[in-house]
Amino acid sequence: MDETPPPVLLVEHILPGVALFRINRPEAKNALNMAVRQALASSFAQAAKDKSLRCIVLTGDENSFAAGADIREMVDVSGIELYQRHNERLWAAIADCPLPVIAAVNGFALGGGMELAMHADIIVAGQSARLGQPEVKLGIMPGAGGTQRLVRAVGKFQAMRICLTGDLFTAANALNMGLVSAVVPDDETLPEALRLAAQIAAMPPLAVGLIKEIILQGADIPLAAALTLERKGLQFLFGSSDKQEGMQAFLEKRKPQFTGC
Ligand code: CO8
């Protein structure tokens, strides 16, 4: 009998230019143990080098996107051990991914799971999704952007409420706060994420890459510098074949054929 455990992350090239990463620990609500984090880091790093890819969709299952870091695995970890693990290097592989990432969130996105979703560029949530940063209830605090990405996304007063109470909130609340991009019926979450991914995958890749890079970089620097960055990105794209093709196709009333050059 085959005793090999199932992979904790399923990777599939599901549509032309689109990879689907599916966290696969249903027995633990997709809690992020070290194996999942390492698999995520190496899959994102690999995808970043794959010239055939244009977009990544990241998901869990119908019950849970990810219920946070694995508490069983953390309970006996000391502060020094945690420091020496340098988990930030694993998260960096996701944060630094040059391809657009769409999170399709059904069920729980808690703690490290919500932080993982916040690494994405677009979040599509199912109407029954429950999000939250419950770390405070465990005597700890968020450590992968759950205070910092969150405050930048929703502002001080919502971020404080979420992190200080640890209360879970609904997808509709998240949409009101600007924390997710769309809320859809639960069975539409992945299809909608894939539809967006296919749409983005058909766009000129240089423009897509620069838009992602400049929105993210620009958000953390003074406005004047960010606007310069934006202008330089636009000027750079004016030198691309895809700019010529996009504009020519519009004028000739035909579909553009982008090549990524
Ligand atoms: N870690 C480990 N196992 C988990 C986790 C988790 N985060 N969440 C759920 N599970 C397991 C349960 O222990 C249970 O296992 P078993 O069947 O063996 O008892 C199984 O999944 C099913 O869970 P429940 O029976 O609890 O299912 P419910 O539907 O009743 O509840 C909840 C689902 C609400 C998701 C509930 O399980 C829960 O509250 N989970 C914990 C959520 C949480 O606190 N997340 C934050 C964790 S801390 C964090 O993410 C930041 C860490 C900082 C970095 C540390 C690096 C090492």
186 close to 107: Cβ distance less than 8 angstroms: no
Q: What are the tens digits of pLDDT across the range 61-79?
A: 999 999 999 999 999 999 9
Look up 112 and say whether it is catalytic: yes
Is residue 98 one of the residues assigned to a domain?
A: yes
Q: Is the CB of 110 under 6 A from ligand 1?
A: yes
> Residues 191, 214: one domain?
no
Nearest CA to ligand 1 atom 41: 67
Q: Are residues 122 and 209 in the same domain?
A: no
Domain shared by 109 and 145, yes or no: yes
261 occurs within a structural domain: no
Reported confidence tier of residue 92, pLDDT bands at 50, 70, 90: very high
pLDDT tens profile 130-168: 999 999 999 999 999 999 999 999 999 999 999 999 999
pLDDT band per the 50, 70, 90 thresholds, residue 6: confident
Model confidence at 5: pLDDT above 90: no
The finding on whether 138 has its CB within 6 A of some atom of ligand 1 is: yes
**Lowest-pLDDT choice from 3-7, 67-71, 116-120, 240-244:** 3-7
Residue 1 lies in a domain: no
State yes or no: pLDDT of 221 exceeds 90: yes
| Range 31-35 contact pairs with CB under 8 angstroms and sequence separation of 24 or more | 31/66, 31/67, 31/68, 31/69, 31/70, 31/71, 31/72, 31/113, 32/66, 32/68, 32/69, 32/70, 32/112, 32/113, 32/116, 33/8, 33/69, 33/70, 33/73, 34/70, 34/73, 34/85, 35/8
- The secondary structure of residue 125, as a DSSP letter, is E
Q: Whole-number mean pLDDT of the chain? A: 97
pLDDT tens by residue, 94-125: 999 999 999 999 999 999 999 999 999 999 99
The pLDDT value given to residue 1: 62
Shared domain check, 25 and 37: yes
Answering whether pTM is above 0.95, one says yes
Q: Is residue 260 situated within a structural domain?
A: no
Whether residues 93 and 23 share a domain: the answer is: yes
Residue 216 pLDDT greater than 80, yes or no: yes
Residue 3 lies in a domain: no
What CATH number is given to the structural domain containing 185? 3.90.226.10
Catalytic residue list contains 198: no
Same domain, residue pair 152 and 33: yes
Does residue 36 have its Cβ closer than 6 Å to ligand 1?
no
**Assigned domain for 186 exists:** yes
Q: What does the block give as tokens for 227?
A: 């606007």
Distance between CA atoms of 259 and 121, rounded to whole angstroms? Answer: 23
Whether residues 53 and 25 share a domain: the answer is yes
Number of domains composing the chain = 2
Is 115 an active-site residue?
yes
Q: Which of 132, 135, 153, 207 is catalytic?
A: 135
Q: Give the mean pLDDT of 182-202.
A: 98
* SS3 call for 51: coil
* pLDDT for position 114: 98
Claim to verify: residue 126 and residue 244 sit in the same structural domain? no
DSSP 121: S
In this structure, is residue 214 part of a structural domain? Answer: yes
In the reported structure, the alpha carbon of residue 20 is separated from the centroid of ligand 1 by a whole-number distance in angstroms of 24
Cβ 25 under 6 angstroms from ligand 1: no
Residue range 166-186: average pLDDT?
A: 98
Residue 258 lies in a domain: no
Domain range spanning residue 104? 9-201
Domain co-membership, 148 together with 19:
yes
